[in-house]
C-alpha cells in the first residue's frame, strides 16, 4: 500500500507544510472516528482538479466498519461524489442526501472540509454504518456531540492543535474514559470508566456537577503553587496531557478544548487509569538499578581479586609462579571489563567493540612498544552471556600470540578482525586474530595442545559459546586464529 507522502506528492499540488498538517490530522483522527462511530477517509483533490485521491483511512474502535476493503490509493472523478464536491467548493460540512447501500448495509455519508490557514486542503468522508443503529444512550449522545464539535473545528482549521504533538500509543483513548465539561469546567457527563478512575484517586461522590479542576486539585497531593495550574489544566482551558498521582492510584489525562465556532463551549477530557502500568515501570526501574549495582559490585570484587593476585605475584621469587599469577590477573581483568560495561547499561547487552579494544590494550602491556595491536571490523552489540566468555577467549588468544608468537626483542603486529554475518535466525560472528610472528611449531595441533590458555579457549568456544576454533598458519608469516561463534541478534 502506498504511503500518504507518496500519494500526496504524486497526485496533488500540496506543499510540505500542507502535508505536515495532514499528518498531524491523521495522528489525531482516531479520536474523531471513535466519537463518531464512523469510518473516516481523507480525500485530496488531484493536481489538475479533476479527481480525488484517498490518502488515509481510519476505522472506529467503537462501532462496525462501513468499508471492508482498504480505500487508500483509490481515485474518483469529480462529480461522482457530490458531497465531496460541495464540501471542497463551499468549505462547509455537508450532510445532505439519503444513506448509501453497500453490500446490503445502509451507510450515512458526511463530508468535512479540512482547512488550513484559510485554504481547504481536502475532505474527510465520514461513513457511519446504520445497520446497528438504536436509541442512543447518554454516552453515545455525548460522543456524537463531541464529534460534531471536533468536525466543526477541523472545518474551521482550529483542530488539530499545531503546537501539541501527541503520542497516540501512549495517550488515553475514548474507550479508556471520557469526561465532557461545559465552558466553566463543570462536568456535564462522565463515562463509567472515567468515574471508576476518579474513584481510584479517592473520590467518594459522583463527578457530574463538580468543577473538574478544583476536584482534581483536591484529590492530588498538595504541591503548593502548582495546584492552581493543575486546576486550570484539568478544567480544559488548554490542550495538555498530564498525570495525577495520589496514594491510591495514578490517572493520565488529556484535555481538549472545544471551540466549534471560535468560542470555547467546553472541553473533552480523556483519561486512563495507569496505576498498574506505573507500578510495573517502577518495579522495572528498581530491577534495572539492582542489576546494574550487582554488576558494579562484581566488577569491584574482581578488581580486588586482581589486585590481590598482583600483590602476591610481586612477593613470589619463582619466575614461572609470577607469570602464572600475572596471567590470572589478566583473565580476571577481562571479565571485570564486561561487568563494568554492563553496570552502565539498561539491559544485559554490551557494545563489544569497546571491550575488545580495552582487552587488546590490556594484553599489549605484556610487550610495551614492541608489538602493536589493532582492531578491524565491528563485533557489534552482544548479549552478556556471549560477551563474558568471548572477552576471556580474546584475552587468552592475544596473550598466547604475544608470549609465544614473538621472540624476545622482536617487533611485530597483532590484528583482531570481526565480521557479523548470517541471517537473523542464524547470525554468526567470525573473529580472526592474526600475528606476524614466528608461526606454529611443526606438527602443532591446537585441539590437543596441553597449553592452559588454549584449553580455556577450546572449552569456552566449543562448550559455552557453541562455536568452532582453529589455529592455522597465516598467509605469508605468523599465525592465524579463527573463531566462528553463533550470536543472538538484538531486537
292-350 per-position pLDDT tens digit: 788 778 888 888 888 888 888 888 888 888 878 887 887 787 778 777 877 777 667 88
pTM over 0.85: no
Q: How many percent of the chain have pLDDT more than 70?
A: 94
> What's the CA gap between 6 and 12, in Å, rounded?
10
Q: What is the mean pLDDT of residues 178-190?
A: 95
Residue 116, pLDDT above cutoff 80: yes
Q: What is the mean pLDDT of residues 107-130?
A: 94
Contact 128, 37 (CB under 8 A): yes
Residue 489, pLDDT above cutoff 80: no
> What's the CA gap between 181 and 128, in Å, rounded?
26
The pair phi, psi for residue 480, each rounded to 5°, is -130, 125
Confidence category of residue 491, pLDDT binned at 50, 70, 90: very low
* Per-residue pLDDT, 249: 86
Residue 368, pLDDT above cutoff 80: no
Q: Can you list the positions of beta strands (E) in 339-426? A: 349-351, 371-377, 381-383, 412-422
Task: Identify the weakest region by mean pLDDT among 188-192, 263-267, 314-318, 341-345.
Answer: 341-345
Average pLDDT of the chain to the nearest whole number? 87
Q: What is the mean pLDDT of residues 378-391?
A: 87
Confidence category of residue 426, pLDDT binned at 50, 70, 90: confident
Q: Walk across the sheet containing 427-435 and list its strands.
A: 371-377, 412-422, 427-435, 479-486, 468-473
| Pairing between β-strand 412-422 and β-strand 371-377 as defined by DSSP bridges | parallel
> What's the CA gap between 461 and 396, in Å, rounded?
12
- pLDDT tens by residue, 450-466: 677 888 888 889 888 99
Residue 36, pLDDT above cutoff 60: yes
User: Which of 394-408, 409-423, 455-469 has the highest mean predicted lDDT (pLDDT)?
Assistant: 455-469
Residue 120, pLDDT above cutoff 70: yes
> What's the CA gap between 351 and 246, in Å, rounded?
40
- pLDDT tens by residue, 77-105: 999 999 999 999 999 999 877 788 877 78
> What's the CA gap between 52 and 81, in Å, rounded?
10
Confidence category of residue 258, pLDDT binned at 50, 70, 90: very high
What SS3 class is residue 36? helix
Residue 47 is placed in which grid cell? Answer: 493536481
Amino acid at each position: 500500500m502506498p504511503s500518504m507522502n507518496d500519494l500526496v506528492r504524486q497526485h496533488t499540488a500540496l506543499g510540505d507544510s500542507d502535508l505536515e498538517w495532514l499528518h498531524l490530522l491523521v495522528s489525531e483522527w482516531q479520536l474523531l472516528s471513535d466519537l463518531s462511530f464512523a469510518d473516516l477517509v481523507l480525500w485530496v483533490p488531484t493536481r489538475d482538479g479533476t479527481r480525488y485521491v484517498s490518502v488515509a483511512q481510519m476505522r472506529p474502535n467503537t462501532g462496525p466498519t462501513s468499508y471492508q476493503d482498504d480505500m487508500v490509493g483509490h481515485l474518483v472523478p469529480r462529480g461522482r461524489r457530490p458531497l465531496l464536491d460541495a464540501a471542497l467548493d463551499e468549505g462547509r460540512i455537508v450532510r445532505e442526501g439519503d444513506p448509501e447501500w453497500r453490500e446490503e448495509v445502509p451507510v450515512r455519508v458526511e463530508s468535512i472540509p479540512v482547512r488550513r490557514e484559510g485554504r481547504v486542503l481536502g475532505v474527510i468522508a465520514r461513513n457511519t454504518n446504520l445497520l446497528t443503529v438504536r436509541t442512543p444512550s447518554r454516552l453515545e449522545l455525548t460522543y456524537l456531540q463531541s464529534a460534531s464539535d471536533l468536525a466543526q473545528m477541523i472545518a474551521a482549521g482550529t483542530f488539530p492543535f499545531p503546537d501539541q504533538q501527541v503520542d497516540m500509543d501512549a495517550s488515553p483513548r475514548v474507550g479508556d474514559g471520557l469526561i465532557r465539561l461545559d465552558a466553566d469546567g463543570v462536568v456535564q457527563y462522565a463515562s463509567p470508566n472515567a468515574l471508576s478512575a476518579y474513584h481510584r484517586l479517592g473520590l467518594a461522590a459522583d463527578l457530574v456537577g463538580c468543577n473538574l479542576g478544583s476536584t482534581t486539585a483536591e484529590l492530588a497531593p498538595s504541591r503548593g503553587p502548582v495546584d492552581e495550574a493543575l486546576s486550570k489544566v484539568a478544567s480544559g482551558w488548554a490542550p495538555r496531557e498530564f498525570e495525577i498521582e495520589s496514594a491510591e492510584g495514578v490517572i493520565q489525562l488529556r484535555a481538549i478544548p472545544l471551540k466549534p465556532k471560535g468560542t470555547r463551549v467546553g472541553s473533552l477530557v480523556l483519561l486512563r487509569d495507569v496505576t498498574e502500568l506505573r507500578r510495573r515501570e517502577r518495579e522495572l526501574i528498581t530491577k534495572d538499578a539492582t542489576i546494574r549495582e550487582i554488576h558494579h559490585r562484581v566488577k569491584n570484587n574482581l578488581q580486588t581479586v586482581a589486585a590481590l593476585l598482583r600483590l602476591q605475584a610481586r612477593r613470589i621469587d619463582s619466575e614461572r609462579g609470577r607469570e602464572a599469577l600475572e596471567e590470572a590477573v589478566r583473565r580476571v581483568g577481562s571479565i571485570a571489563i564486561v561487568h563494568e560495561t554492563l553496570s552502565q547499561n539498561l539491559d544485559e547487552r554490551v557494545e563489544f567493540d569497546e571491550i575488545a579494544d580495552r582487552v587488546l590494550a590490556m594484553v599489549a602491556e605484556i610487550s610495551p612498544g614492541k608489538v602493536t595491536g589493532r582492531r578491524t571490523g565491528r563485533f557489534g552489540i552482544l548479549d552478556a552471556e556471549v560477551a563474558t566468555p568471548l572477552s576471556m577467549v580474546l584475552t587468552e588468544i592475544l596473550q598466547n600470540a604475544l608470549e609465544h608468537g614473538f621472540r624476545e626483542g622482536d617487533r611485530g603486529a597483532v590484528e583482531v578482525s570481526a565480521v557479523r554475518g548470517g541471517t537473523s535466525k542464524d547470525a554468526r560472528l567470525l573473529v580472526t586474530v592474526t600475528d606476524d610472528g614466528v608461526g606454529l611449531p611443526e606438527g602443532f595441533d591446537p585441539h590437543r595442545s596441553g597449553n592452559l590458555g588454549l584449553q580455556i579457549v577450546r572449552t569456552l568456544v566449543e562448550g559455552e559459546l557453541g562455536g568452532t576454533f582453529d589455529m592455522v598458519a597465516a598467509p605469508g608469516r605468523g599465525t592465524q586464529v579463527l573463531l566462528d561463534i553463533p550470536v543472538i541478534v538484538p531486537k
